[in-house]
């Protein structure tokens, strides 16, 4: 009986953690893009992209965050049947995020004014969103491939989403003024730390996906900064942005 009660307790804690994590992700995005997207009418003078593709991008990415919250909530409510049915949406939304993310990044990098609110030269900064999309697509592919293993599947899905949060975090009130991308990355990494702490407390060790995926995200961050100023990257960025000319 005590063993059964312990199992139920662990399952409950896990469901509470992932539900809270999904709410934190959604709140992070809403706060970060409140002035430029969610509450645009209240901040008419706030800088924002003029191209319609960015409105579509915002809607699609928001739908992804809502889907993540819905999915973990369904698991918490023991409605795994609906969870599996709703999972089909991920197969539609995830590729749309990648296509819109890459398209938006190339459009912004091709603008004479560059990325809105980003003082870094546009083609140099392009490495950030393109690697975001690369990691997101890779992690989602791994999550879908292991969808029958809940512990693996959910961690790849969560880490794929965390990888995209830096753009929202950098736009938190007061954070963008810091002007240091390492700070934005460090704040993003706190979500990975939260997952790692959960693993250690619930399993006594890091799950292999948490370790591999988390380290991949963290290692990619300084790598992006180092790559961004190289002649090879600038040549690639020039070629890539020529497609949206």
- Domain membership of residue 5 (yes or no) is no
What pLDDT, on a 0 to 100 scale, did the predictor assign at position 66?
Answer: 94
In terms of residue numbers, what domain contains 204? 10-244
pTM, to two decimals: 0.91
What pLDDT, on a 0 to 100 scale, did the predictor assign at position 27?
Answer: 96
* Full pLDDT tens readout for the chain, 245 residues: 444 444 557 778 898 999 999 999 999 999 999 999 999 999 988 888 889 999 999 999 999 999 999 999 888 887 888 888 888 899 999 999 999 999 999 999 999 888 887 878 899 999 999 999 999 999 999 999 998 999 999 999 999 999 999 999 998 988 877 878 889 999 999 999 999 999 999 999 999 999 999 999 999 999 999 999 899 999 999 999 998 86
Long-range contacts, 87-95 (Cβ 8 Å, 24+): 87/147, 90/64, 90/140, 90/144, 90/157, 91/144, 93/60, 93/63, 93/64, 93/67, 94/64, 94/136, 94/137, 94/140, 94/160
What pLDDT, on a 0 to 100 scale, did the predictor assign at position 106?
Answer: 96
- Domain membership of residue 2 (yes or no) is no
Cβ contact 168:32 at 8 Å? yes
Between helices 127-145 and 208-228, what is the axis angle to 10°? Answer: 160
Domain count, the chain: 1
- Domain membership of residue 43 (yes or no) is yes
- Domain membership of residue 148 (yes or no) is yes
- Domain membership of residue 99 (yes or no) is yes
What pLDDT, on a 0 to 100 scale, did the predictor assign at position 113?
Answer: 86
- Domain membership of residue 26 (yes or no) is yes
Q: Which one, of 228, 221, 230, lies nearest residue 115 by Cα?
A: 228
- Domain membership of residue 96 (yes or no) is yes
What pLDDT, on a 0 to 100 scale, did the predictor assign at position 177?
Answer: 75
- Domain membership of residue 4 (yes or no) is no
Residue 44: partners with Cβ closer than 8 Å, 6 or more residues away: none
């Amino acid at each position: 009986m005590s063993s059964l009660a312990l199992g139920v307790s662990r399952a409950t804690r896990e469901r509470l953690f992932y539900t809270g994590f999904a709410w934190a992700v959604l709140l992070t995005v809403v706060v970060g893009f409140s002035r430029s997207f969610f509450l645009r009418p209240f901040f008419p003078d706030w800088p924002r992209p003029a191209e319609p593709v960015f409105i579509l991008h915002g809607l699609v990415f928001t739908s992804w965050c809502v889907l993540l919250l819905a999915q973990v909530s369904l698991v918490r409510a023991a409605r795994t049947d609906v969870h599996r049915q709703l999972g089909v949406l991920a197969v539609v939304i995830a590729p749309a995020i990648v296509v819109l993310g890459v398209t938006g990044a190339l459009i912004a990098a091709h603008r004479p004014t560059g990325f809105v609110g980003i003082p870094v030269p546009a083609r140099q900064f392009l490495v950030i969103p393109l690697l975001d999309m690369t990691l997101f697509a890779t992690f989602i592919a791994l999550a879908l491939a292991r969808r029958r293993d809940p512990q693996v599947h959910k961690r790849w899905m969560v880490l794929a989403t965390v990888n995209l949060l830096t753009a929202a975090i950098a736009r938190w009130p007061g954070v963008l003024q810091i002007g240091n991308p390492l700070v934005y990355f460090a704040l993003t990494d706190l979500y990975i730390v939260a997952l790692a702490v959960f693993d250690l407390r619930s399993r006594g060790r890091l799950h292999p996906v948490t370790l591999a995926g988390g380290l991949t995200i963290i290692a990619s961050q300084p790598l992006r900064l180092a790559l961004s100023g190289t002649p090879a990257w600038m040549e690639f960025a020039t070629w890539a942005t020529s497609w949206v000319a």
